[in-house]
């Protein structure tokens, strides 16, 4: 399957390249449907399908950003693969979650204050 890159806004100062397979994996990790993600982000279900698909029809940059940001608000961290570990997704760590103001972590608890 051909991977379609999805560019997202920078995390910190570094821009992250997010692929369609990462969007599918991130949604699967959260356990939400395409319908639920579309509702959360405020886009149509076909838009989610195009963003997650491997076809040549893409979605606008700001829409890709919104989808990735919506998944981040659910506690997903996109792994860019620059550290040699490969590209993927995982639950955000406490440090990652602390950057997401007002968002619960993967187990429903908010980021702990030090």
70 neighbors 37 (Cβ within 8 angstroms) = yes
List the chain pLDDT tens, one digit each, 114 residues. Answer: 444 454 444 444 344 678 888 999 999 999 999 999 999 999 999 999 999 987 777 888 788 889 999 999 999 998 887 777 788 999 998 665 555 544 444 444 443 333
Tell me the C-alpha distance between 78 and 14, whole Å.
13
**What token pair was written down for 22?**
């990462």
pLDDT attached to residue 7: 46
- Summarised one tens digit per residue, pLDDT across range 7-34 is 444 444 344 678 888 999 999 999 999 9
Quick check: pTM over 0.85? no
DSSP for 45-94, please give it.
HHHHHHHHS-SS----HHHHHHHHHHHHHTTEEEEESTTSS-EEEEEPPH
Write down all domains in the chain, each with its CATH number in brackets. Answer: 5-98 (1.10.260.40)
pLDDT attached to residue 105: 43
Q: Residue 9 is inside which H or E element, if any?
A: strand 5-11
């Amino acid at each position: 399957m051909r991977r379609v890159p999805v560019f997202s806004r920078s995390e910190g100062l570094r821009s992250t390249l997010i692929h369609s397979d990462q969007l599918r994996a991130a949604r699967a990790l959260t356990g939400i449907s395409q319908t639920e993600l579309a509702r959360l982000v405020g886009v149509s279900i076909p838009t989610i399908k195009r963003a997650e698909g491997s076809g040549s029809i893409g979605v606008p940059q700001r829409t890709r950003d919104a989808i990735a940001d919506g998944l981040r608000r659910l506690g997903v961290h996109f792994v860019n693969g620059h550290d040699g570990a490969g590209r993927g997704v995982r639950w955000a760590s406490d440090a990652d979650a602390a950057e997401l103001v007002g968002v619960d972590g993967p187990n429903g608890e908010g980021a702990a204050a030090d």
